[in-house]
Structure 1
Amino acid sequence: MATLRDVAVLAGVSVKTVSNVVNGYDFVKPENRRRVEDALAATGYRPNLGARNLRRGRTGFLALVVPELSIPYFGELAGAVLTAARGRGWNVLIEETQGNRENERATLASLGPHMADGAIISPEALEPGDLTDPTVPLVLLGEHTVDLPMDHAGIDNVLAARTAVRHLVEVGRRRIAVIGQHPRRGTAALRLAGYREALAEAGLREAPELIATATRYHQRDGAEAMTHLLDLPEPPDAVFCFNDMLALGAVRAAFERGRSVPGDIAVAGFDNTEQSAYSLPSLTTIAPDKTALARAAVELVHRRTSGTAPAAPEDVRIPFSLEIRESTTG
């Protein structure tokens, strides 16, 4: 394999100049940079990333901890994190926790500096006391109703939910239900708060029987919750679901009961997963910018590991939009 010295001889520059180009430093004369880049291509030089990371005191790995990769949102997010991390020279270790507190705590406990340079985590069950002494920089994804003193990136879940429910009101729905996990904390509590704010804003009464709890965020859970809602003496004419999987299950249950979507009941989801655009009917949904979220999270870890972050935790808000499709407008 070619060495830095081989490249330097071919380019007619010093080994230090080659090293500066390989490491991406800016203080190299344009002519020397061009000659080094030509020599790198000619020799097929590949840096020894393992040796480089050892010299820098790094592992070269970034950890991503999510509840379930089988949920499309987290699969799509993981892909975006992989792309963003490669841009910073990191490989990514991925762990899923099933949203279980003990799994989340055990995963964090295993993430010492010998394994990863930092971690991005989307927690569902962690308590503030679980994060008091992390051994690597942590970035939390999503808003949280408990005060966690860590860098975090996420959308405004209250506003996003309010936007979705406001749309259901605007298309003429008045008895609007919600399907989601028990809102004890985290994003579920925030999305329920947004739902309630939108009802109050429209002057609509909140009906306790229209809040349907799902065990998990799968299509089966959405279908079961929708079946329960359709069995009510006065069923809803619209449903806001806390993710797209629940919404797709709800649409299927409505179909099996002979109800049209959106004719009899409008359905809106959350996450804008790829499935939502190709379902029948296509799904109206809240669309977080997952690429921007992944980039922000990786940059937050980078700033912590490079010593360029402020002392106080950073909070990065990511934009979202409402994708209006057939499940609410026909």
Structure 2
Amino acid sequence: MAVTLHDVASLAGVSIKTVSNVVNESPNVTASTRARVLAAVDELGYQPNLSARSLRSGRTGAIGLVVPELSLSYFAELADAVIRAAEARRLAVLIEQTNGDREREIEVLSSPRMKFTDGVLFSPLGMGMDDADRLRVPYPLVLLGERIFGGPTDHVTMHNVEAARAATAYLIASGRRRIAVLGAHPGEVIGSAGLRLVGYRRALDDAGIAFDADLVAATTLWHRANGAVAMRDLLSRGVDFDAVFGLNDTLALGGMRVLQESGRRVPDDVAVIGFDDLDEAGYSLPSLTTVDPGRREIAERAVAALVERIGGAAVPPREILAEYRVVERESARALAH
């Protein structure tokens, strides 16, 4: 037989209402009574009926996280950070994957499954600025990523332009002048690739270095294999370069492998910097210099913003930017003079 509130109340010597107040974290219970009830809960192994509680409160105790692709390390590590931030608030996280497909993203926004959450963190990849009005959904929603700006929801993102500018400036300060880029998306303006390329070009302008389109290698996806293909393309075209900026870490790691296979030494012949500060970046050989865009802060502030909206916060949509830093490791360092 399942343990009931009545069983806990009998053991603790209190009313059923008092047990309910403790289980539902009501502040109107003395510390000594709360301790006695919790001891009884532990002794009996009582498990609250979450479905019944949800019906009474109108809350599920869960939030949704919608991401493009968990096989991409950035989104896997972001999901981990979101789960940790949610657990600290006693919330579960339900994850949906869209594969970056616009139609799938739109479908998920209107999916009945969203009813099983109190609110959603949404990171689109296929949708764009023309889809901003689709974010007007009947539940709390916080936007992540760089596909839509100025929309009707809170938006937690990173300093893409400034962080990419800092990464490129770091290479320039180390004495590099011919800096190749892996991962550009031709014609993209809004989006990680477009914004980071803007930051790259601004750093070149700051240093008085002319932009050379031959140094920019385009890719579709941002996987290691794409970084490797882009690097082979640069090498096959005979492009002269002394540094590489991978627009994310996985591109940089794929490109670095090809450089080493070609006999080029990293960082002596070619310096390499990435973007994202993935866990594996610290364990590559050489370890990867990169940009930490504030992933943990993004997760924490996004969950906090969503919890505020779930609680009824009625303020205008906010854009929240995480802080970034260049993480110095072995793949890029100052040239010896």
What interval of TM-score do these two structures reach, taking the shorter chain for normalisation? over 0.9
Query: Does the 8 A contact of 2:60 with 2:118 survive in 1?
Result: yes
Does residue 142 (structure 1) correspond to residue 134 (structure 2)? The answer is no
Letter of the structure 1 residue corresponding to residue 162 of structure 2:
L
Letter of the structure 2 residue corresponding to residue 279 of structure 1:
S
The verdict on how the C-alpha distance between 1:238 and 1:111 changes in structure 2, with shifts beyond 3 A counting, is: farther
Stretch moving more, 214-223 or 281-290: 281-290
Q: Which residue matches 1:33? A: 34
Letter of the structure 2 residue corresponding to residue 239 of structure 1:
V
Give distance in 2, aligned partners of 1:296 and 1:24: 24
Q: Which residue matches 1:290? A: 295
Give distance in 2, aligned partners of 1:322 and 1:9: 59
The verdict on how the C-alpha distance between 1:181 and 1:216 changes in structure 2, with shifts beyond 3 A counting, is: farther
Superposed counterparts of 1:60-71, under 5 Å? 60-71=61-72
Give distance in 2, aligned partners of 1:47 and 1:140: 32
Letter of the structure 1 residue corresponding to residue 96 of structure 2:
E
The verdict on how the C-alpha distance between 1:277 and 1:66 changes in structure 2, with shifts beyond 3 A counting, is: same
Give unpaired runs (5+ residues) of structure 1. none
Query: Does the 8 A contact of 1:145 with 1:190 survive in 2?
Result: no
How many residues align structurally? 329
Does residue 206 (structure 1) correspond to residue 206 (structure 2)? The answer is no
Letter of the structure 2 residue corresponding to residue 295 of structure 1:
E
Secondary structure at the counterpart of residue 28 of structure 2: coil
Give distance in 1, aligned partners of 2:128 and 2:239: 39
Give distance in 1, aligned partners of 2:101 and 2:139: 21
Q: Which residue matches 2:329? A: 325
- Counterpart selection for 2:263 from 245, 258, 266: 258
Kindly state the Cα deviation for residue 83 of structure 1 after the two structures are TM-superposed.
2.4
Stretch moving more, 114-123 or 46-55: 114-123
Kindly state the Cα deviation for residue 64 of structure 1 after the two structures are TM-superposed.
1.3
Superposed counterparts of 1:41-56, under 5 Å? 41-56=42-57
Stretch moving more, 156-165 or 14-23: 14-23
Query: Does the 8 A contact of 2:68 with 2:98 survive in 1?
Result: yes
Query: Does the 8 A contact of 1:111 with 1:135 survive in 2?
Result: no
Query: Does the 8 A contact of 1:223 with 1:246 survive in 2?
Result: yes
Give distance in 2, aligned partners of 1:305 and 1:162: 36
Kindly state the Cα deviation for residue 111 of structure 1 after the two structures are TM-superposed.
5.0
The verdict on how the C-alpha distance between 1:145 and 1:126 changes in structure 2, with shifts beyond 3 A counting, is: closer
Give distance in 1, aligned partners of 2:114 and 2:76: 26
Letter of the structure 2 residue corresponding to residue 176 of structure 1:
I
Query: Does the 8 A contact of 1:111 with 1:136 survive in 2?
Result: no
Does residue 155 (structure 1) correspond to residue 158 (structure 2)? The answer is yes
Kindly state the Cα deviation for residue 131 of structure 1 after the two structures are TM-superposed.
4.2
Give distance in 1, aligned partners of 2:113 and 2:38: 37
Stretch moving more, 124-133 or 240-249: 124-133
Q: Which residue matches 1:88? A: 89
Per the normalisation by structure 1, the TM-score is 0.92
Query: Does the 8 A contact of 2:125 with 2:147 survive in 1?
Result: no
Kindly state the Cα deviation for residue 171 of structure 1 after the two structures are TM-superposed.
1.0
Letter of the structure 2 residue corresponding to residue 68 of structure 1:
E
Q: Which residue matches 1:168? A: 171
The verdict on how the C-alpha distance between 1:30 and 1:145 changes in structure 2, with shifts beyond 3 A counting, is: closer
Does residue 269 (structure 1) correspond to residue 274 (structure 2)? The answer is yes
Give distance in 2, aligned partners of 1:318 and 1:146: 15
Per the normalisation by structure 2, the TM-score is 0.91
Q: Which residue matches 1:104? A: 105
Secondary structure at the counterpart of residue 267 of structure 1: strand
Q: Which residue matches 2:4? A: 3
The verdict on how the C-alpha distance between 1:224 and 1:178 changes in structure 2, with shifts beyond 3 A counting, is: same
Secondary structure at the counterpart of residue 311 of structure 1: coil
Kindly state the Cα deviation for residue 95 of structure 1 after the two structures are TM-superposed.
1.9
Query: Does the 8 A contact of 1:145 with 1:189 survive in 2?
Result: no
The one-character-per-residue Cα deviations of 1:243-267 (angstroms, maximum 9, x if unpaired) are 1110011101111211111111111
Stretch moving more, 117-126 or 263-272: 117-126
Query: Does the 8 A contact of 2:132 with 2:148 survive in 1?
Result: no
Letter of the structure 1 residue corresponding to residue 6 of structure 2:
R
Q: Which residue matches 1:222? A: 227
